[in-house]
Chains A and B, each alone.
Chain A
Amino acid sequence: MSPTRRSRQVAIVLATALATALSACSSGDGGTAAGGTTGTQDAVDAALREGGEITYWSWTPSAKAQVEAFQQEFPNVKVNYVNAGTGNDHYTKLQNAVKAGSGAPDVAQIEYQALPQFAMTGALVDLGQYGFNAFEDDYTPSTWNSVKVGGGLFGLPQDSGPMALFYNKEVFDRHGLTVPKTWDEYVETARKLHTADPTKYITSDTGDAGFATSMIWQAGGKPFTTDGKNVKIDLQDEGARKWTATWDELVEEKLVSTIPGWSDAWYKALGDGTIATLATGAWMPGVLESSVPGGAGKWAVAPLPTYDGKTPVTAENGGGGQSVLKQSAKPALAAAFVRWLNNGNGVKPFLDSGGFPATKADLESSAFKDEAAPYFGGQQINQVLTAAAGQVVPGWSYLPYQLYANSVFGDTVGKSYADSTSLDPGLTAWQQALVDYGNQQGFTVTTG
């Protein structure tokens, strides 16, 4: 394997790792641009004809190929592609540049979880002024909802991560297990598996804010509500408690592996069957294929288990889009690049590099849906994954300061994981930390 390929794989892995680990906030109510600006795309088209130079920060594995394709199509535009780091490193640099007042790129990749934070601090351009609200129908409702903050449109969605259950078929077959349809069955499967072979675990979870919030999302919880300066946090609402009631059993009985996600040991465990399932976003196949060669032919995809076993529901996990920074000297040209990336010819190189799109047309195309994945033993996994994209519980929003929230998840809920005790006290402590921080930052935070 060549070094570049290897580093690309690492980049993919890290990117997706962070996609899960840091769900930041996307708030706001989707739909029409209530308080946003509206305009036409004329300025964007003109800027594209005129050309110029812009800078693009991204760590997505498809960024390089996309930039090359763009420059071929528009030779009069020069795009300086910079990988400014993965996840937190990227956001830290971006935050510093925004605070410093200079040095920010024209276009940056920003995950849905982080978007509200940058939008609310005034770092991003409302793309409504370029008439991009017209693209609403091109995207899945949940991803479109994620780039709308307080009525403004602060980016175009690139990928999405509707959750599904990835499971190691070989392990399931060996121990005569059936794929769980409900979370109760999932816990039962975990017990059976661990009893049959104490070295095997149903999954690994050492506490991950992105996963926890997605699981609360699927359970119907809406712990974060933002309305201007008013934030309501309730991490003990019905949905949250529904999730912890199930997940506590796994944590308390030590049925989940404590191998930290995205570590070397984790990839190994995914390959050798130590970790038998993963409830995660639809971008996972790319990670498995590139980083878990030992799992080829063993893994399969099923819909995410539910609580009642009847209505299929799921949540988003990770994913993000591209935004234009206010510091940009050529915002119209930057907007043109964003439009090309996520609503134009840029989608093809994105799909070619294993991305899971946010655009309805691509999700519905039979070429995409019916593709048999060799890694998954020829299973048409996109059938399951695209179906999941339409079953996401609507109405979710992240906190306006979700990046910070995720950073202190380990300080609070992590303790519950470390002690193998109920997650509820941990979630309560997390909530308290978030209330304190929000009030310090000038929000009026109430609890449910």
Chain B
Amino acid sequence: MTSISAPVRSAPAPPARTARRSRVDRRGWLFVAPFLVVFALVFLAPIAYALWLSLFREQVFFGGTEFVGLDNYAAVLGDAKFWESFFRVLLFLVVQVPVMLGSALVAALAIDSARLHAAGLFRIVIFLPYAVPAVVATLMWGFIYGDTFGLAADLNELLGRKVVEPLSGDWVLVSIGNVVTWEFVGYNMLILYSALKVVPHDLYEAAAIDGAGTLRTIVSVKLPAIRGALVIATIFSIIGSFQLFNEPNILRALAPNAISTFYTPNMYAYNLSFSGQQYNYSATVAIVMGVITAVIAYVVQLRGSRKGV
């Protein structure tokens, strides 16, 4: 097998073709060079650095750095804290993303239906929370949630005992989900709404001629037409969920015992770095989490586009 294929491969090697191709290549490289330089600098280099970091272990107190191979990866995969944080964001993802995208879809369809008065106002009002920086939004919600002051406190006073405790250990994840939903419904609504806007009107006319009602039009025409946008919105939301950081990190000041330093994978990586000076282990956590996120997002994209075609 090898003895046959080897000469075949080498014999007719067309030097002319490769030469021509490489000349074309070189010109192409010239055009993409500015992009490639920046891409390498701000994208590839940090990833390479993180990968390199993850193969070592530095002990800051005694200045020793040793090569440990894949030990850090083995440690992350066996790290109960890491998995606890991972499954927490997974639970968050499974519950919060459908709620948020469902609400966004309903809002987009309602605005697109042309039956709303002041649709433009609705659109901007629903979108507005997205314009509020996440830090400010979380602080604001934090004041609403506080059960010694603010809205939760007033409710409890009205009810006579502590019923609403949004910052207690049992409820804080729900509370965070609420903040994230509030922040991102408008953003997703806008993605879906713009997809709806480009659906050709003849489709609606054809559906109407076929006797389709509003619901039927939505299910058979609108939803299939915006499948691509839905897949994109889902992927963004999955990535967002796995990267959950701002909201829990800020609420932590108000609920220090309900939100741990490893509440989400990103918080874990952050605290490993900045409280524990465990830069190598932190890099490993970030890489493992990045790989998991990429795989899940890719699977969703594959499934989404396969059905679409």
Q: Which residues of B contact A440 (CB under 8 A)?
A: 59, 278
- A407-B276, A418-B169 known; 7 new pairs, CB 8 Å cut-off, are A207-B257, A260-B256, A410-B260, A415-B257, A441-B61, A441-B62, A442-B61
The answer to whether B149 and A268 touch across the interface, beta carbons within 8 angstroms, is: yes
Residue among A99, A407, A414 facing the most chain B CB atoms (10 A cut-off): A414
Q: Which residues of A contact B275 (CB under 8 A)?
A: 88, 403-404, 407-408
* Residue A92 interfacial (CB < 8 Å): yes
Q: Which residues of B contact A121 (CB under 8 A)?
A: 60-61, 63
Question: In the complex, A367→B146 CA distance in Å?
Answer: 44
A261 to chain B, nearest CB (A): 9
Question: In the complex, A50→B260 CA distance in Å?
Answer: 51
* Residue B31 interfacial (CB < 8 Å): no
Given A207-B257, A410-B257, A401 and B61 contact (CB-CB distance below 8 Å): yes
* Residue A186 interfacial (CB < 8 Å): no
* Contact mask for chain B residues 269-281; partner A; CB cutoff 8 A; 1 contact, 0 none: 0010011111100
Q: Which residues of B contact A269 (CB under 8 A)?
A: 148
Question: In the complex, A418→B261 CA distance in Å?
Answer: 15
Q: Which residue of B lies closest to A405 (CB)?
A: B275
The answer to whether A95 and B146 touch across the interface, beta carbons within 8 angstroms, is: no
* Residue A373 interfacial (CB < 8 Å): no
The answer to whether B271 and A443 touch across the interface, beta carbons within 8 angstroms, is: no
* Residue A6 interfacial (CB < 8 Å): no
A326 to chain B, nearest CB (A): 13
* Contact mask for chain A residues 111-144; partner B; CB cutoff 8 A; 1 contact, 0 none: 0000000001110000000000000000000000
- Partner pick for A418 among B61, B148, B258, CB 8 A cutoff: B258
The answer to whether B61 and A120 touch across the interface, beta carbons within 8 angstroms, is: yes
* Residue B254 interfacial (CB < 8 Å): yes
Residues facing B in A386-415 (CB within 8 A) are 400-401, 403-404, 407-408, 410-411, 414-415
The answer to whether A442 and B258 touch across the interface, beta carbons within 8 angstroms, is: no
Interface residues of B (CB under 8 A from A): 59-64, 146, 148-149, 168-169, 253-258, 260-262, 271, 274-279
- Partner pick for B261 among A120, A410, A417, CB 8 A cutoff: A410
Q: Which residues of A contact B277 (CB under 8 A)?
A: 95, 99, 404
Q: Which residue of A lies closest to B275 (CB)?
A: A407
* Contact mask for chain A residues 88-115; partner B; CB cutoff 8 A; 1 contact, 0 none: 1000100100010000000000000000
Question: In the complex, A193→B66 CA distance in Å?
Answer: 58
Question: In the complex, A268→B60 CA distance in Å?
Answer: 42
* Residue A292 interfacial (CB < 8 Å): no
Q: Which residue of B lies closest to A443 (CB)?
A: B61
* Contact mask for chain A residues 241-263; partner B; CB cutoff 8 A; 1 contact, 0 none: 00000000000000001111001
Question: In the complex, A231→B273 CA distance in Å?
Answer: 22
Question: In the complex, A229→B61 CA distance in Å?
Answer: 9
* Residue A265 interfacial (CB < 8 Å): yes
The answer to whether B149 and A265 touch across the interface, beta carbons within 8 angstroms, is: yes
Q: Which residues of A contact B276 (CB under 8 A)?
A: 404, 407, 437
Q: Top 8 closest A-B pairs, CB basis?
A: A414-B257, A407-B275, A442-B59, A418-B257, A411-B260, A410-B256, A442-B62, A265-B148
Question: In the complex, A401→B277 CA distance in Å?
Answer: 10
Q: Which residues of B contact A206 (CB under 8 A)?
A: 256-257
* Residue A73 interfacial (CB < 8 Å): no
Question: In the complex, A264→B255 CA distance in Å?
Answer: 14
Main secondary structure of the interface of B (DSSP, over half): loop
Question: In the complex, A229→B258 CA distance in Å?
Answer: 34
Q: Which residues of B contact A257 (CB under 8 A)?
A: 148
- Partner pick for A122 among B63, B64, B255, B258, CB 8 A cutoff: B63
Count of A-B residue pairs with CB < 8 Å: 73
- Partner pick for A260 among B62, B253, B279, CB 8 A cutoff: B253
The answer to whether B61 and A411 touch across the interface, beta carbons within 8 angstroms, is: no
Question: In the complex, A441→B275 CA distance in Å?
Answer: 13
Q: Which residue of A lies closest to B59 (CB)?
A: A442
Q: Which residues of B contact A410 (CB under 8 A)?
A: 256-257, 260-261
- Partner pick for B271 among A99, A260, A407, CB 8 A cutoff: A407
Q: Which residues of A contact B271 (CB under 8 A)?
A: 407
Q: Which residues of A contact B61 (CB under 8 A)?
A: 120-121, 400-401, 441-443
B283 to chain A, nearest CB (A): 14
Q: Which residues of A contact B60 (CB under 8 A)?
A: 99, 121, 441
Question: In the complex, A124→B278 CA distance in Å?
Answer: 20
Given A122-B63, A442-B59, A265 and B169 contact (CB-CB distance below 8 Å): no
Question: In the complex, A229→B64 CA distance in Å?
Answer: 13
A252 to chain B, nearest CB (A): 15
Q: Which residue of A lies closest to B143 (CB)?
A: A264
Question: In the complex, A154→B155 CA distance in Å?
Answer: 53
Q: Which residues of A contact B255 (CB under 8 A)?
A: 260
A120 to chain B, nearest CB (A): 5
Q: Which residue of B lies closest to A410 (CB)?
A: B256
Residue among A121, A207, A400, A411 facing the most chain B CB atoms (10 A cut-off): A411
Q: Which residue of B lies closest to A418 (CB)?
A: B257
Given A268-B149, A400-B61, A263 and B253 contact (CB-CB distance below 8 Å): yes
Question: In the complex, A335→B277 CA distance in Å?
Answer: 28
Question: In the complex, A229→B59 CA distance in Å?
Answer: 12
* Contact mask for chain A residues 427-448; partner B; CB cutoff 8 A; 1 contact, 0 none: 0000000000100111100000
- Partner pick for A92 among B59, B146, B274, CB 8 A cutoff: B274
Q: Which residues of A contact B258 (CB under 8 A)?
A: 418
Question: In the complex, A120→B62 CA distance in Å?
Answer: 8
Question: In the complex, A442→B57 CA distance in Å?
Answer: 11
Q: Which residues of A contact B278 (CB under 8 A)?
A: 440
23 contacts between A and B (CB under 8 A): A88-B274, A88-B275, A95-B277, A99-B277, A120-B61, A121-B60, A206-B256, A206-B257, A264-B149, A265-B146, A401-B61, A404-B276, A404-B277, A410-B257, A410-B260, A411-B262, A414-B256, A415-B257, A418-B168, A440-B278, A441-B61, A442-B61, A443-B61
Question: In the complex, A258→B169 CA distance in Å?
Answer: 13
B262 to chain A, nearest CB (A): 7
A207 to chain B, nearest CB (A): 6
Q: Which residue of A lies closest to B63 (CB)?
A: A122
Residue among B60, B168, B253 facing the most chain A CB atoms (10 A cut-off): B60
Residue among A92, A122, A258, A269 facing the most chain B CB atoms (10 A cut-off): A258
Q: Which residue of A lies closest to B146 (CB)?
A: A265
